[in-house]
Homo-oligomer: A and B are copies of this chain.
Amino acid sequence: MKFFALGLWVVGAVAAWAAERPNVVLIVADDHGTDALGCYGNPVVKTPALDALAAEGTRFTHAFCTTASCSPSRSVLLTGQQNHRNGMYGLQHQDHHFQSFDGLKALPVRLAEAGYRTARIGKFHVAPEEVYRFQAVLSGGAANDPESLGRSPVEMAEQTRGFLSAKDARPFFLYFATDDPHRANAVLPGGKPTFDTYPRPNRFGNRDAGYPGVTEVTFDPAQVVVPPFLPDTPTCRAELAQYYQSIARLDQGIARLVALLKETGHYERTVIVYLSDNGPAFPGAKTTLYDPGIRLPLIVRSPGQERRGAVQDAMVTWADITPTLLDLAGAWSAERAGEFDGRSFRAALGGGKVAGWDEVYASHSLHEITMYYPMRMVRTRGHKLLLNVAHGLPFPFALDLIQSPTWVDLQRRGETIYGRRPIAQFVRRPQFELYDLNADPHEVQNLADDPRHRAVREELVAKLRAFQERTRDPWRHKWVYE
Q: Which residues of A contact B (CB under 8 A)?
A: 87, 89, 95, 97, 99, 101, 368-370, 372, 374, 390, 392-394, 396-397, 402, 474-475, 477-478, 481-482
Contacts and interface: CB of A to CB of B under 8 A. Distances in A.
Contacts of A474: 95, 368-370
B370 A477 contact: yes
Given A97-B101, A474-B95, A481-B402, A390 B369 contact: no
A261 B35 CA distance: 71
Nearest to A482: B394
A240 to B, nearest CB: 24
Contacts of A475: 370
Nearest to A127: B102
Given A370-B374, A370-B474, A370-B478, 19 more contacts: A87-B97, A89-B369, A95-B474, A99-B99, A368-B474, A369-B474, A370-B475, A372-B372, A372-B390, A390-B390, A390-B392, A390-B393, A392-B393, A392-B394, A393-B393, A394-B482, A396-B482, A397-B481, A402-B481
A477 B95 CA distance: 13
A146 B157 CA distance: 55
Closest 7 CB pairs of A and B: A392-B392, A372-B372, A95-B474, A392-B393, A87-B97, A370-B475, A370-B474
Which of A87, A95, A101, A370 is packed against the most chain B CB atoms within 10 Å?
A370
Nearest to A369: B474
A139 to B, nearest CB: 21
Nearest to A372: B372
A392 B99 CA distance: 27
Number of copies: 2
A474 B393 CA distance: 17
22 contacts: A87-B97, A89-B369, A95-B474, A97-B99, A99-B99, A368-B474, A369-B474, A370-B374, A370-B474, A370-B475, A370-B477, A370-B478, A372-B390, A390-B390, A390-B392, A390-B393, A392-B392, A392-B394, A393-B393, A394-B482, A397-B481, A402-B481
Contacts of A481: 397, 402
A97 B396 CA distance: 23
A229 to B, nearest CB: 21
A171 to B, nearest CB: 34
Nearest to A374: B370
Contacts of A402: 481
A364 to B, nearest CB: 14
A89 B371 CA distance: 13
A369 B477 CA distance: 12
Contacts of A392: 390, 392-394
A315 B86 CA distance: 42
Contacts of A99: 97, 99
Nearest to A428: B392
Contacts of A396: 482
A475 B372 CA distance: 11
A313 to B, nearest CB: 35
Nearest to A476: B370
A482 B482 CA distance: 24
Nearest to A392: B392
Contacts of A369: 89, 474
A12 B393 CA distance: 62
A356 to B, nearest CB: 30
A337 to B, nearest CB: 21
Contacts of A482: 394, 396
A288 to B, nearest CB: 17
A429 to B, nearest CB: 11
A481 B482 CA distance: 27
Which of A87, A369, A397 is packed against the most chain B CB atoms within 10 Å?
A369
A384 B142 CA distance: 41
Contacts of A89: 369
A478 to B, nearest CB: 7
A394 B392 CA distance: 8
A59 to B, nearest CB: 37
A478 B402 CA distance: 12
A312 B405 CA distance: 55
A112 to B, nearest CB: 24
